[in-house]
A and B are shown apart, each in its own frame.
Chain A
Amino acid sequence: MKSNRVLLMVTVFCVTVGVLLLAARWYRQREGARLAAVATAPNGQERLVRDYAPWKGAANGKVTIVEFFDPECESCRAAHPWTEALLQEFSGQVRLVLRYAAFHPNSKFAIQVLEAARLQGRYWETLEVLFQHQPEWGSHHHPQPERIWTYLPQVQGLDVERVRRELQSETTSRAIMQDAMDGEALGVRMTPAFFVNGKPLENFGQDPLRAMVIEALR
């Protein structure tokens, strides 16, 4: 009697958890297909790559990596070297397009700084410095976004006073909003979110990303 009960409980437990896992697989596949359809739809290309979005690498490369990112997100900081490595390894074949997903409290400010630096052609250098010092200015327990000003002089050739003047920009606010809408449509809920030639990265990690790029280069 007692052992029957244990057997029943184990069975019920395993079946329930099994159903959960199967449902999770089914849902992920369906979501993946749906999102892939969004990205490959006629207007999907537009959603992924807006003409105002910052990019670097091969303008007509065979592979376009789109990264939705947030300058205040730790994982984006950690993943930053991934794309750098890919741009180097497959130089002339890969283009990186950055889009914003301002999920953190001070993301918008950091993006404004980046966009102001971009007007001076110092976007990528500034991004490097922001990421480098992110633990200090973007700490979750004690964020100090104003400290960003103290790091900016490290960016060679950047006129910090001009950044201050050009910080508030209607264009940047519109870009952040458009990126947020595109990200939502493309199912971006976490950062960084990568798309390789329109296909979302399924398993998060440096190796899967590299594998997708190699696959796309074939």
Chain B
Amino acid sequence: MTRTTWIFLGWFTALIATCGSLFFSDVMMLPPCTLCWWQRIAMYPLVFVLGTALLTDSSEAHRYGLPLSLAGMLVAIYHNLLYYHIIPESLAPCRSGVSCTTVQLEWLGFVTIPLLSLAAFALLNLCLFNVARKRPT
């Protein structure tokens, strides 16, 4: 795949993730927990950052994209560890509002919102690492 294709795939992933999270919060009215908000903060700008990179043929896309996607993935990993009770909840930073470990949705028995987020960030990192590897010629 070419560098542009990888950026495109990353942009598309961020777009789907953004739309999906808006669907959960604003259509299904599931309130986002604190950790979800941190992941949103990392995800939403990627639509614009990678979109702009595509439109301007930027050779720097990964420099702007990776900080967001890596930070987002760290939060997503932490969220999933909490969510699946691999680390105890007493360490969770969210005490008021929605608990970060409330299972609000489960598709096919294992697809949950934090897992979707982790998958999206993992895919984004894959794309952006490939972008970084394939320097424009």
Contact = CB atoms under 8 A, between A and B. Distances in A.
B22 interface: yes
A194 B38 CA distance: 34
Contacts of B11: 9
A119 interface: no
Interface in A1-51: 2, 5-6, 8-9, 12-13, 16-17, 19-20, 23-24, 27-28
Contact of A16 (B15, B54, B55): B15
Main secondary structure on chain B at its contact with chain A? Answer: helix
Contact of B12 (A12, A28, A190): A12
A17 B22 CA distance: 11
Interface string A188-202: 011000000000000
A19 B91 CA distance: 38
Interface residues of A, number: 17
Given A5-B54, A9-B54, A23 B16 contact: no
Interface residues of B, number: 17
B37 interface: no
22 contacts: A2-B57, A5-B54, A6-B55, A8-B8, A9-B8, A9-B11, A9-B51, A12-B12, A13-B15, A16-B15, A16-B16, A16-B19, A19-B19, A20-B19, A23-B23, A23-B27, A24-B23, A24-B26, A27-B23, A27-B27, A189-B29, A190-B29
- The 4 A-B residue pairs with the shortest CB-CB distance, nearest first, are A20-B19, A24-B27, A189-B29, A16-B15
Interface of B: 4, 8, 11-12, 15-16, 19, 22-23, 26-29, 51, 54-55, 57
Interface of A: 2, 5-6, 8-9, 12-13, 16-17, 19-20, 23-24, 27-28, 189-190
